[in-house]
Amino acid sequence: MRGRTPEQAPPAATRPPPWRGVRVEVRGLLDGVRRRLVGRDLALIGAGLTFYAGIAVVPLLAVAFALTARVTSTDQVRALTDRLAGVLPDDIGAPDALTRLAQAGVELDWLRIVLALFPMSFYGEGLRRALLRFTDHRDTLTGWRGRLLILPLVLLTPFLLYPLLLVGGQLADLAGGEGFAYGLAGVAVGYYSVLAALTLPLVWGFRVVAPERLRWRAVVPGALFTAACLSGFLQGFVLFLDLPLDIGAPFGGLTVVGGVVAVGLWLFLLHLVVIAGWLTTQALHDRLAPSG
């Protein structure tokens, strides 16, 4: 049997470049997000979730400081908070607000901790109601389900807050250094520490509090992606506060009013990122579903 000459050999199969598959997947995810946004007012849903967050944020942080002080010690929490406050911009009084919040938290007794759980639980209701708008799931007792399902996260707050306070001490040391390397290291440490702290609460929110039960294979990368976006957004907000801007100028020179509005706007934009992360996680869930 005669062998084939090189000219007669069949052409080798050409493999598509790896970036083409990535582009197809990204386009599929974006199409899935777009479909869920049709006919829905994203700004209005985000504003509603921000309202619930405004009720819950102070009680949540106060309880987190209270439980962290009981796991460690009151003096240690105060000392670490003071170090973290030292690296925050003080144009709208962020360091003083953090110090006073920590002081109020460590002074809470058990009765006040229990009482604070009620307003804190409103965030679970708001999150479940907001995410419900992007599903066809029919839910009952939405508010109570959301409130009860968010409460177990309270037990984790000391183990999330305490590492962040320790990182705050490292940030204070890096802020004292001079040069680009110190600044870059500070940004990296702050970014990855916040990313790590946010991932588990987002996994819980997307998997347990949300009305639609998504696959773990979608929830975990979706929560990591959302945490990465939120951490970057928080870094940008801190840098924004460090700009030499008079935030009270549009409000008759009242800096306090400008600060409240700035924080409210920041919470609104932050929750738009959360919703975008949820929509991306839903789209990933659909793409992982078996065909047919």
Q: Digits of tens for pLDDT over the chain (292 positions)?
A: 454 555 555 454 566 666 666 777 788 888 888 898 888 899 999 999 999 999 999 999 999 999 999 999 999 999 999 988 888 877 667 788 899 999 999 999 999 999 999 999 999 999 999 999 998 888 888 899 999 999 999 999 999 999 999 998 888 878 777 777 877 888 898 899 999 999 999 999 999 999 999 999 999 999 999 999 999 998 888 888 777 778 888 888 888 888 888 889 999 999 999 999 999 999 999 888 775 4
173 vs 110, 121, 241, CA distance in Å?
35, 36, 20
Q: 34: which 2 tokens?
A: 């777009």
Contact between residue 143 and residue 54 where contact means Cβ atoms under 8 Å apart: no
Please tell me the distance from the alpha carbon of residue 87 to that of residue 266, in angstroms, as a whole number.
Answer: 19
- 3-class secondary structure, 143: helix
Break the chain into its structural domains and give their ranges. 41-288
* pLDDT at residue 8, as a whole number: 55
Find the DSSP H helices in the chain.
Answer: 18-37, 42-71, 74-85, 94-106, 110-120, 122-132, 142-150, 157-175, 180-204, 216-241, 255-288
Interacting residues of 102 by C-beta distance below 8 A, sequence separation 6+: 65, 77, 78, 81
* pLDDT at residue 137, as a whole number: 80
* pLDDT at residue 253, as a whole number: 80
Please tell me the distance from the alpha carbon of residue 48 to that of residue 285, in angstroms, as a whole number.
Answer: 25
Nearest 5°: the CA angle 140, 127, 39 is 80
Please tell me the distance from the alpha carbon of residue 87 to that of residue 81, in angstroms, as a whole number.
Answer: 10
